[in-house]
């Protein structure tokens, strides 16, 4: 990884653990001249960063890594540390990561935000199902390796004539996913929920010509499976049942 032998680049040790946006802000701190170096050598640097407040930054090589301190409210890998690492490397004539490296090596921005999720819960029937599919992975600081489930049961999208049997088969299909070896009650919960809702949306599109008696039978199947999902298949601690309920309710009203 070292871009130049002999001297250790501080930027190398921060870049893989810093968000892209934070890195860019750190670069701006440098170009705006907001860092004052108090002292540095090949082992450590002390500097002041002038932002909303004045922050003290200390970086130091320790073992194979870098120990970091900044008095700002951000817990770690803040823009001030990035700025100080850049200046430290610059002062030691170490080549800085170029634009491409910054793009490739920093942590990409999350695909969704908490406000996307809030929006989804506000109107579960119209929600963008991709948001609930990836919410647990994207919004929590840690994840477990888990199965990636299909977006929708294969049976329901087949061009067969719509029937109760087709719905039954689709339900068994979703149920079978929970027996996959990497199935995770919590981290797969959004995907199971999204697949159920997707199935209901497809049923609704084909609902028009369905006989009332068959409609009621299908709704009963969905109601029973809804409970199975909530109580046996997923960890519903995030309240995903709201999405299941809204989609079943919509079928009852049509
Ligand atoms: Zn800071």
Domain boundary among 105, 126, 160: 105
Domain boundary among 105, 135, 160: 105
Domain around 70: 10-105
Q: Is residue 4 part of a domain?
A: no
Longest CA–CA separation in the chain, Å: 81
In angstroms, the CA 140 to CA 162 distance is 39
Q: Is residue 248 part of a domain?
A: yes
- Ligand 1 centroid, distance to 92 Cα (angstroms): 22
Residue 32 sits at φ, ψ, to 5 deg, of: -85, 0
**Are 239 and 183 part of one and the same domain?**
yes
CA dihedral 130, 23, 16, 97 (to 10 degrees): 130
Q: Is residue 1 part of a domain?
A: no
Q: Is residue 98 part of a domain?
A: yes
Domain boundary among 70, 86, 105: 105
**Are 87 and 180 part of one and the same domain?**
no
**Are 223 and 120 part of one and the same domain?**
yes
- Ligand 1 centroid, distance to 155 Cα (angstroms): 53
**pLDDT tens, residue by residue, 43-61:** 999 999 998 899 999 999 9
- Ligand 1 centroid, distance to 85 Cα (angstroms): 12
**Which residues of the chain, if any, have pLDDT below 50?**
1-4
**Are 207 and 145 part of one and the same domain?**
yes
- Ligand 1 centroid, distance to 138 Cα (angstroms): 24
Q: Is residue 2 part of a domain?
A: no
**Are 247 and 196 part of one and the same domain?**
yes
Q: Is residue 242 part of a domain?
A: yes
Which token pair is 80? 């001030």
In angstroms, the CA 247 to CA 126 distance is 9
- Ligand 1 centroid, distance to 84 Cα (angstroms): 10
- Ligand 1 centroid, distance to 72 Cα (angstroms): 4
Number of domains in the chain: 2
- Ligand 1 centroid, distance to 23 Cα (angstroms): 12
Q: Is residue 194 part of a domain?
A: yes
**Are 156 and 235 part of one and the same domain?**
yes
Q: Quick one: pLDDT at residue 161?
A: 83
- Ligand 1 centroid, distance to 7 Cα (angstroms): 24
**Are 83 and 15 part of one and the same domain?**
yes
- Ligand 1 centroid, distance to 183 Cα (angstroms): 39
Name every residue whose Cβ is closer than 8 Å to that of residue 148 and which is 6 or more positions away in sequence.
191
- Ligand 1 centroid, distance to 141 Cα (angstroms): 19
**Are 128 and 236 part of one and the same domain?**
yes
User: pTM of this prediction?
Assistant: 0.66
Q: Quick one: pLDDT at residue 6?
A: 64
- Ligand 1 centroid, distance to 136 Cα (angstroms): 27
**Are 83 and 194 part of one and the same domain?**
no
Residue 19 sits at φ, ψ, to 5 deg, of: -70, 145
Find out whether 178 and 225 touch, Cβ atoms under 8 Å.
no
Q: Quick one: pLDDT at residue 2?
A: 45
Which of 207, 208, 244 lies closest to 228 in space, CA to CA? 244
- Ligand 1 centroid, distance to 52 Cα (angstroms): 11
- Ligand 1 centroid, distance to 54 Cα (angstroms): 10
Residue entry with tokens 């995030």? 238
- Ligand 1 centroid, distance to 102 Cα (angstroms): 19
- Ligand 1 centroid, distance to 105 Cα (angstroms): 20
- Ligand 1 centroid, distance to 3 Cα (angstroms): 26
CA distances from 2 to 15, 88, 93, 94, 127 (A): 13, 15, 13, 10, 46
**Are 64 and 175 part of one and the same domain?**
no
In angstroms, the CA 234 to CA 147 distance is 13
**Are 179 and 239 part of one and the same domain?**
yes
**Are 62 and 141 part of one and the same domain?**
no
């Amino acid at each position: 990884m070292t871009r130049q032998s002999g001297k250790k680049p501080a930027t190398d040790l921060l870049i893989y653990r810093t968000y892209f946006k934070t890195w860019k802000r750190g670069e701006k701190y440098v170009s705006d001249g907001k860092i004052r170096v108090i002292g540095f050598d090949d082992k450590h640097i002390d500097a002041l960063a002038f932002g909303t407040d004045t922050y003290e930054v200390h970086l130091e090589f320790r073992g194979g890594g870098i120990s970091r301190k900044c008095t700002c409210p951000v817990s770690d890998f803040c823009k001030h540390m990035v700025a100080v690492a850049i200046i430290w490397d610059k002062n030691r004539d170490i080549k800085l990561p170029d634009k491409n490296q910054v793009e490739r090596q920093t942590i990409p921005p999350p695909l969704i935000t908490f406000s996307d999720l809030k929006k989804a819960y506000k109107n579960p029937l119209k929600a963008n199902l991709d948001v609930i599919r990836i919410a647990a992975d994207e919004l929590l600081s840690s994840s477990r390796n888990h199965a990636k489930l299909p977006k929708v049961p294969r049976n329901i999208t087949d061009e067969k004539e719509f029937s109760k049997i087709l719905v039954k088969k689709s339900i068994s299909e979703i149920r079978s996913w929970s027996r996959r070896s990497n199935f995770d009650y919590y981290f797969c919960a959004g995907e199971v929920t999204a697949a159920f809702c997707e199935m209901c949306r497809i049923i609704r599109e084909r609902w028009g010509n369905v006989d009332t008696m068959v409609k009621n039978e299908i709704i009963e199947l969905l109601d029973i499976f809804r409970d199975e999902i909530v109580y046996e298949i997923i960890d519903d601690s995030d309240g995903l049942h709201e999405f299941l309920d809204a989609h079943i309710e919509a079928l009852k009203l049509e």
